[in-house]
């Protein structure tokens, strides 16, 4: 349902998500994020191949954003279509650094 590709470069981490980030898959993504969050200074999340995001997925992004705001930068890349629409409706466009 969701393929997570993680790349690390020192304290810079990048996650590319492919598939659907919903209640069933959000836990796995959150687990992987928690492993690196304590030491991360730069976090990039690539949503090019993400087709769906539910509120559970949004919650994981919100958590990560809150922590990264305190210790570095977090950028969400290539959000488009349904995902961008969801960000707009829920107001996530206001708190996420989209590019």
Partner 1 sequence: MGKDKTAKKKNLLRSGLSVNIIGAIVILLVLFGVISSAIGLVSFTNAFKREYSTTTYHMADTAATLVKGDHLSEYVDGAYAYEYQQTRAYLDAYCKKIRVSLIYVIQVDRSDYGRFVSVFNLVDNTVDDTEYTAWEPGYKRDTTNDEYRQKYKAIYEQSSEYETVYRIKTTDGQHPHITTMVPVKDSSDEVCAILCIQRPVRELYDARRPYLINIAISTVLLAVAVSVFAGFFIRKQFVLPVQQVSDEATRFARENTQGEPLGNISRFEVISNLAHSIDTLERDMCSYVDNLTAVTAEKERIGAELSLASTIQDNSVPNVFPAFPGRDDFDIYASMTPAREVGGDFYNFFLIDDDHLAIVIGDVSGKGIPAALFMMVTNILITDRTKMGGTPEQILDYVNENICAHNKADMFVTVWLGILQLSTGKLTAANAGHEYPVLRTGGGAYELVRDKHGFVVGGMETTRYKGYEMTLQPGSSLFLYTDGVPEASDKENRLFGVGRMLEVLNADPGASPEKVLSGMSAAIEEYAGGAEQFDDITMLCIEYKGSSEGKENA
Task: Report the interface residues with partner 1, using CB under 8 A.
Answer: 20, 22-24, 52, 54-56, 58-59, 62-63, 66, 82, 88-92, 94-95
- Please check whether residue 61 is in contact with residue 92, taking contact to mean a CB–CB distance below 8 angstroms: yes
Which of 71/90 has CB closer to partner 1?
90
In the complex, the smallest distance separating the C-beta of residue 87 from partner 1, rounded to whole angstroms, is: 10
- Please check whether residue 74 is in contact with residue 65, taking contact to mean a CB–CB distance below 8 angstroms: yes
Determine the Cα–Cα distance for residues 79 and 36; give it in Å rounded to an integer. 22
Which of 47/61 has CB closer to partner 1?
61
In the complex, the smallest distance separating the C-beta of residue 91 from partner 1, rounded to whole angstroms, is: 4
Sheet strands side by side (includes 12-21): 2-9, 12-21, 42-53, 73-77
In the complex, the smallest distance separating the C-beta of residue 66 from partner 1, rounded to whole angstroms, is: 7
């Amino acid at each position: 349902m969701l393929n997570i590709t993680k790349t690390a470069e020192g304290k810079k981490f990048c996650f590319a998500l492919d598939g659907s980030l919903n209640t069933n898959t959000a836990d796995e993504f959150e687990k992987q994020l928690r492993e690196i969050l304590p030491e991360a200074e730069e976090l990039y999340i690539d949503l090019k191949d993400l087709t769906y995001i539910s509120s559970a997925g949004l919650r994981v992004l919100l958590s990560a954003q809150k922590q990264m705001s305190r210790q570095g930068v977090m950028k969400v890349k290539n959000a488009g279509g349904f995902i961008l629409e969801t960000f707009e409706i829920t107001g996530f466009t206001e708190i996420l650094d989209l590019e």
